[in-house]
Amino acid sequence: MSADMIMNSPETDTISSDDIDVIGDEHMMTGEETPIRADAFDMSDSEKIARISQHFREIMLTLGLDLNDDSLRGTPQRVAKMYVKEIFSGLNPANKPSVALFENKYRYNQMLVEKNITLYSNCEHHFVPIYGVAHIAYISSGKVIGLSKLNRIVQYYSKRPQVQERLTMQIARELQKILDTPHVAVVIDAKHMCVSSRGIKDVSSATVTSFYDGHFLEEHRRTEFLSYIGM
Ligand SMILES: [Zn+2]
């Protein structure tokens, strides 16, 4: 990929600075799929780290920080590595967890609920943390997956710049696909640092998003699920 492709990104040309503030502070979602460039994975991870490191260094210098200080010297490299290898590693389909399916031998045909799955993500409008818990339920159509895989699927989609609504839907759609069943419910209860530490500065509010399909569209199933997760 040439440097020009990154430098000449069109994103900021078509949107006014007023729109930028509104979309960010209202946390509006524009689509269910993470907007990813066609050339997103032409560059290797090490090339990305080198590039981000260079740009982050520029941000720090622009803010007026002295990168000769021993404490700050390694920060651009640390941030770049953390972005690519950890907190945004879920952008790369190569990092998607492989999921083994098992036969539902016991013919358990009630709902399975995995609750309080810890979740760390980042707001795509401000690049600051979103943290909370995800609760997942499904009713098997003959296949089951290991419980830890539910956590891994949550982690994978969390490790992207996100909006909570999209994160909820991406997890749910993935489960429906893997488990080959429409009967899936996902609830995410999370706090957004961009709401608590800046902007409106509301430290007590939390955002709840949900997805219900299949049998979970039925009132009694939904009530049962919500009673298990204590909501
Ligand atoms: Zn935000």
Residue 8, pLDDT > 80, answer no
Q: How many angstroms separate the CA atoms of 171 and 174, rounded?
A: 5
Q: Would you report the helix, strand and coil content of the chain in percent, each value rounded to 5? A: 45, 20, 35
Question: Exactly one of 27, 125, 135, 183 is catalytic; which is it?
Answer: 125
Q: What is the mean pLDDT of the chain?
A: 90
Q: Report H helices in the chain.
A: 3-7, 17-25, 45-63, 70-73, 75-81, 147-158, 164-179, 193-196, 219-228
Neighbours of ion ligand 1 (CB under 5 A): 123, 125-126, 194
The CATH topology of domain 3-95 is GTP Cyclohydrolase I; Chain A, domain 1 (1.10.286)
Task: Give span(s): CATH 3.30.1130.10, the chain.
Answer: 101-228
What is the distance, to the nearest Å, from the Cα of residue 66 to the centroid of all Cα atoms in its chain? Answer: 33
Q: How many angstroms separate the CA atoms of 27 and 41, rounded?
A: 27
Kindly report, residue by residue over 35-54, the tens digit of the pLDDT. 999 999 999 999 999 999 99
- Which class would CATH give 101-228? alpha beta
What band does 13 get if pLDDT is binned at 50, 70 and 90? low
In the sheet with 184-192, reading across from the earlier edge strand, the strands are 161-162, 111-123, 129-139, 184-192, 207-212
Question: Minimal CA–CA distance to 173: which of 41, 31, 36?
Answer: 31
The structure tokens listed for 104 are 């539902």
Q: Which position has the token pair 């997956």?
A: 145
Question: CA torsion, points 33, 37, 39, 43, in degrees to nearest 10?
Answer: -90
Question: Exactly one of 114, 123, 162, 170 is catalytic; which is it?
Answer: 123
Residue 17, pLDDT > 80, answer no
Kindly report, residue by residue over 144-186, the tens digit of the pLDDT. 888 899 999 999 999 999 999 999 999 999 999 999 999 999 9
The pLDDT assigned to 171 comes to 98
The whole-number average pLDDT for the span 23-31 is 73
Kindly report, residue by residue over 125-139, the tens digit of the pLDDT. 999 999 999 999 999
Kindly report, residue by residue over 220-230, the tens digit of the pLDDT. 999 999 999 99
For 64-79, the DSSP string reads T--TTSHHHHTHHHHH
Q: How many angstroms separate the CA atoms of 159 and 70, rounded?
A: 29
What band does 14 get if pLDDT is binned at 50, 70 and 90? low
**Residue 176 appears among annotated catalytic residues:** no
The whole-number average pLDDT for the span 187-208 is 91
Burial category of 170 from C-beta neighbours within 10 Å (exposed 0-12, middle 13-18, buried 19 and up): buried
pTM of the full predicted structure? 0.88
Residue 5, pLDDT > 60, answer no
What band does 1 get if pLDDT is binned at 50, 70 and 90? very low
The structure tokens listed for 190 are 């999370």
Residue 20, pLDDT > 50, answer yes
User: For residues 26 and 96, which has the higher predicted lDDT (pLDDT)?
Assistant: 96
User: For residues 133 and 231, which has the higher predicted lDDT (pLDDT)?
Assistant: 133
The CA 121 to ligand 1 mean position distance, Å, reads 11
**Residue 47 appears among annotated catalytic residues:** no
What band does 2 get if pLDDT is binned at 50, 70 and 90? very low
Task: Give span(s): CATH 1.10.286.10, the chain.
Answer: 3-95
Q: 200 to each of 27, 29, 123, 137, 204, how far by Cα in Å?
A: 13, 19, 15, 33, 11
Residue 29, pLDDT > 60, answer yes
The structure tokens listed for 145 are 């997956």
Lowest mean pLDDT among 50-54, 98-102, 118-122, 138-142: 98-102
Question: What is the distance between the terminal CA atoms of the chain, rounded to a whole angstrom?
Answer: 48
Question: Exactly one of 27, 135, 162, 164 is catalytic; which is it?
Answer: 164
Q: How many angstroms separate the CA atoms of 160 and 220, rounded?
A: 34
